[in-house]
């Protein structure tokens, strides 16, 4: 009996230039603090910017998300910035290391459209406040996080890159590497 239920989320895809840059930032981080500091390092092909996490879905709900994606195809591409040095949690042991993403007004409109559509069509809506990001590493391993690593988060100069978000995909979460598989993808105008 398979007890694993497939979970889904909607996300902006990153282009290859942005993924390469994110991977370089991840490698700098790993070199500075060591791979042992985090239990999970995100695979390059899994880099994305989550719009909405849905969790497990019925076929009817998946069909509604496909309808939503058809509507999202009317949105324009989004210009934004990725910047290094972000994290979730508190020092000295931030639980997740991320690239921050500039939340533009247009990106916010698209995200609010998704939340509104989801709430009016019986789709799960993530209630947490939205903070766009690209995850680099997660699940801190506190015994390997040393005091000198904290300085890296506080003092490392932030670097940033321009990124054009051209597509949105519905991803399923798998127990493989890469972890995320595209179920459906749409191009923005």
Mean pLDDT, rounded, of the chain: 91
122 phi-psi bin (left φ>0, alpha ψ -120 to 50, beta other): left
Span 147-166, mean pLDDT? 79
Options 93, 133, 149, 175, the catalytic residue: 133
Options 48, 93, 149, 181, the catalytic residue: 48
- pLDDT of 10: 98
pLDDT band at 33 (very low <50, low <70, confident <90, very high): confident
103-107 — which CB contacts under 8 Å span 24+ positions?
103/130, 103/131, 103/132, 104/78, 104/79, 104/80, 106/75, 106/76, 106/78, 107/78, 107/80, 107/132, 107/165
7 assigned to active site: no
- pLDDT of 100: 93
- With a cut of 80, say whether residue 189 has pLDDT above it: yes
Tally of domains within the chain: 1
**pLDDT one-digit tens code per residue, 51-76:** 999 999 999 999 999 999 999 999 99
175 assigned to active site: no
- pLDDT of 1: 41
**pLDDT one-digit tens code per residue, 84-97:** 878 888 877 788 99
- With a cut of 90, say whether residue 148 has pLDDT above it: no
- 1 assigned to some structural domain: no
User: Of residues 150 and 99, which shows the higher confidence score?
Assistant: 99
- 41 assigned to some structural domain: yes
- 114 assigned to some structural domain: yes
Here the CATH number for the domain that contains residue 62 is 3.90.1140.10
Domain boundaries, position 167: 7-187
Give the contacts of 73 (CB within 8 A, at least 6 positions apart): 186, 187, 188, 189
Question: Which range, of 10-24, 119-133, 150-164, 168-182, averages the lowest pLDDT?
Answer: 150-164
- 2 assigned to some structural domain: no
- pLDDT of 82: 96
């Amino acid at each position: 009996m398979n007890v694993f239920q497939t979970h889904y989320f909607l996300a902006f895809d990153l282009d290859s230039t942005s993924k390469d840059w994110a991977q370089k930032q991840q490698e700098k981080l790993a070199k500075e603090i060591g791979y042992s500091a985090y239990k999970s390092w995100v695979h390059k092909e899994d880099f994305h910017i989550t719009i909405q996490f849905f969790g497990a879905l019925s076929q009817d709900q998946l069909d509604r998300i496909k309808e939503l994606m058809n509507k999202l195809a009317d949105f324009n591409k989004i210009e934004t910035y990725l910047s290094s040095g972000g994290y979730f949690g508190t020092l000295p042991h931030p639980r997740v290391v991320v690239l921050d993403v500039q939340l533009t007004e247009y990106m916010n409109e698209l995200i609010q459209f998704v939340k509104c559509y989801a709430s009016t069509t019986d789709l799960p809506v993530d209630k947490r406040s939205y903070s766009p990001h690209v995850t680099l590493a997660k699940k801190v391993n506190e015994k390997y996080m040393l005091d000198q690593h904290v300085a890296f988060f506080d003092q490392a100069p932030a670097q940033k890159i321009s990124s054009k978000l051209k597509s949105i995909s519905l991803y399923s979460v798998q127990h493989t590497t890469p972890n995320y598989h595209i179920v459906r993808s749409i191009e923005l105008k």
